[in-house]
């Protein structure tokens, strides 16, 4: 097998995700004896081999770097707070014998953390901005709340500042209800069980359809209507805790929820303070018409396109001419 190359792996990853997706939705590919005869399986094996080699190389390099640094053992013991990456910390703990993980476990955890953290918040923001472009009433409320919480010149903000943006919380919740970027989760059944009188044998992989639950009128009134106020505290009783699961639930739920929430809010505050969001002429007039495709996450087909008009300029533009002609920017988050 050729030498592992990170660029090549990044490029192949999309293909592998597509294969996983194709297999998940095609029962003919479920039995291993069929799947193992396919081109997809060959690609998977080749990919796994390359990833393992890359993992070995990275962890080996980190271990050598850390071992070379004369002070690491002492500083780790003293709990020194110099800036370390997650990978540094895990490798250090392993060298100190405090962590029962293989090199592969360490890198898999790091990659999972990185992979989930970089995709989910921007995807969520892309859906929110697309909604705001079509619903100026909601955009105005979000912007007014930002202006109430932040001074005009404020460049930095705290967790507490972000917590005061409560209407924004509702808009994020409602977006994640209609567009949960993690649309389903998978669980392996450990013991034989019954659901709705149907026997589910141990070893079955269950796909839990989060998006289906979020859009079911059994659990949400008028589910295709975008209404942030369904998340008002006084209406909390209307939403069963297991009918709204954008971060999943149980022992394997999302560990990055608080960070993800702050990332989404920070992106929204930064964008909305600088720009007003307008729709593009794509014929879409309501969030219920969004065209979505799904692999392990959901994406707006072709990217969620909106027009961003700088706020200060938009006042001028509104006075002088048609704003659409003056500033025309397309935001396309994949
Ligand atoms: C809007 C942002 C986010 C959303 C909607 C989201 C959603 C999810 C969902 C649905 C799962 C699947 C859990 C399951 O299988 O039950 C998950 C898992 C996970 N998320 Fe997030 N996530 C977000 C942000 C983040 C961030 C910022 C991080 C990084 C710190 C992160 C780290 C993880 C990890 C490590 C897992 C795997 C947990 C495990 O298997 O035990 N997520 N996330």
pLDDT tens by residue, 240-276: 989 999 999 988 899 899 999 999 999 999 999 999 9
CA distance 146 to 260: 19
CA distance 15 to 44: 10
Return the pLDDT at 49: 84
| Residue 263 CA, closest ligand 1 atom number | 27
Least confident window among 2-6, 28-32, 114-118: 2-6
Best-predicted range by mean pLDDT (73-77, 88-92, 253-257): 253-257
Ligand 1: residue of 162, 176, 254 to mutate (most ligand atoms within 8 A of CB) is: 254
Beta bridge partners of 119: none
The DSSP H or E segment spanning 59 is: helix 39-68
Which residue owns the Cα nearest ligand 1 atom 15? 185
Query: Is the Cβ atom of 247 under 6 angstroms away from ligand 1?
Result: yes
CA distance 60 to 218: 53
Segment 141-163 shows an average pLDDT of 89
Considering the chain, what is the average pLDDT of its residues?
84
Query: Is the Cβ atom of 183 under 6 angstroms away from ligand 1?
Result: no
CA distance 303 to 35: 32
The torsion angle over the Cα atoms of residues 56, 57, 58 and 63, rounded to 10 degrees, is 80
Residue recorded with tokens 């942030």: 228
Q: Are the CB atoms for 41 and 35 separated by under 8 Å?
A: yes
Give the global pTM. 0.82
Query: How much distance in Å is there from the Cα of 267 to the middle of ligand 1?
Result: 18
Q: Are the CB atoms for 120 and 297 separated by under 8 Å?
A: yes
Alpha helices, DSSP H only, in 247-292?
257-274
CA distance 317 to 327: 9
Query: How much distance in Å is there from the Cα of 246 to the middle of ligand 1?
Result: 9
Query: How much distance in Å is there from the Cα of 316 to the middle of ligand 1?
Result: 42
Query: Is the Cβ atom of 255 under 6 angstroms away from ligand 1?
Result: yes
CA distance 94 to 290: 47
Ligand 1: residue of 110, 119, 120 to mutate (most ligand atoms within 8 A of CB) is: 120
Query: Is the Cβ atom of 253 under 6 angstroms away from ligand 1?
Result: yes
Which residue owns the Cα nearest ligand 1 atom 39? 252
254 in a known ligand binding site: yes
Whether 325 shows a pLDDT value over 60: the answer reads no
Q: Are the CB atoms for 192 and 202 separated by under 8 Å?
A: yes
CA distance 34 to 40: 11
Return the pLDDT at 334: 37
Segment 68-80 shows an average pLDDT of 56
| Residue 181 CA, closest ligand 1 atom number | 5
Whether 77 shows a pLDDT value over 60: the answer reads no
Instruction: Name the burial class of residue 94, with classes exposed (0-12), middle (13-18) and buried (19+) by CB atoms within 10 angstroms of its CB.
Output: buried
Return the pLDDT at 91: 78
Residue 154, SS3?
coil
- What is the residue-wise DSSP string for 180-240? -SS-EEEEE--S-EEETTEEE-TTPEEEEEHHHHHT-TTTSSSTTS--GGGG-GGGGGGS-
Return the pLDDT at 324: 43
Q: What is the pLDDT of residues 297-315, one digit of tens each?
A: 899 999 999 999 998 755 5
57-61 long-range Cβ contacts below 8 angstroms, 24+ apart: 57/4, 58/87, 58/107, 59/91, 59/103, 59/106, 59/107, 60/103
Task: Give the C-alpha distances (Å, rounded to integers) separating 59 from 65, 77, 81, 113, 252.
Answer: 10, 21, 22, 16, 25
């Amino acid at each position: 097998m050729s030498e592992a190359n990170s660029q090549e792996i990044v490029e192949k990853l999309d293909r592998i995700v597509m294969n996983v997706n194709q297999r998940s939705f095609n029962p003919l590919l479920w039995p291993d004896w069929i799947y193992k005869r396919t081109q997809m399986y060959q690609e998977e094996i080749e990919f796994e081999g390359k990833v393992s080699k890359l993992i070995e190389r990275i962890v080996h390099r980190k271990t050598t770097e850390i071992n070379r640094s004369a002070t690491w053992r002492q500083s780790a013991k003293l709990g020194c707070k110099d800036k370390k990456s997650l990978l540094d910390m895990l490798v250090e703990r392993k060298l100190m014998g405090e962590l029962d993980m293989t090199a592969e476990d360490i890198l898999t955890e790091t990659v999972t953390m990185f992979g989930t953290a970089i995709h989910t918040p921007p995807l969520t923001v892309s859906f929110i901005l697309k909604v705001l472009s079509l619903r100026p009433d909601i955009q105005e409320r979000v912007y007014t709340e930002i202006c109430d919480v932040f001074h005009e010149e404020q460049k930095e903000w705290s967790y507490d500042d972000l917590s005061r943006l409560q209407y924004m919380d509702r808009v994020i919740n409602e977006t994640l209800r209609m567009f949960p970027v993690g649309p389903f989760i998978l669980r392996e059944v450990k013991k034989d069980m019954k659901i709705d009188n149907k026997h589910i044998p141990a070893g079955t992989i269950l796909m839990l359809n989060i998006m289906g639950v979020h859009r079911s009128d059994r659990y949400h009134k008028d589910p295709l209507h975008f209404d942030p106020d369904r998340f008002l505290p006084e209406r909390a009783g209307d939403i069963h805790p297991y009918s709204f699961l954008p971060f999943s639930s149980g022992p394997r739920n999302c560990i990055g929820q608080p960070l993800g929430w702050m990332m989404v809010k920070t992106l929204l505050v930064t964008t909305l303070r600088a720009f007003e969001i307008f729709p593009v002429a794509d014929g879409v007039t309501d969030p219920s018409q969004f065209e979505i495709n799904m692999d392990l996450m959901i994406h707006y087909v072709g990217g969620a396109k909106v027009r961003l008009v700088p706020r200060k300029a938009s006042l001028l533009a509104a006075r002088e001419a048609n704003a659409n002609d003056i500033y025309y920017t397309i935001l396309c988050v994949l």
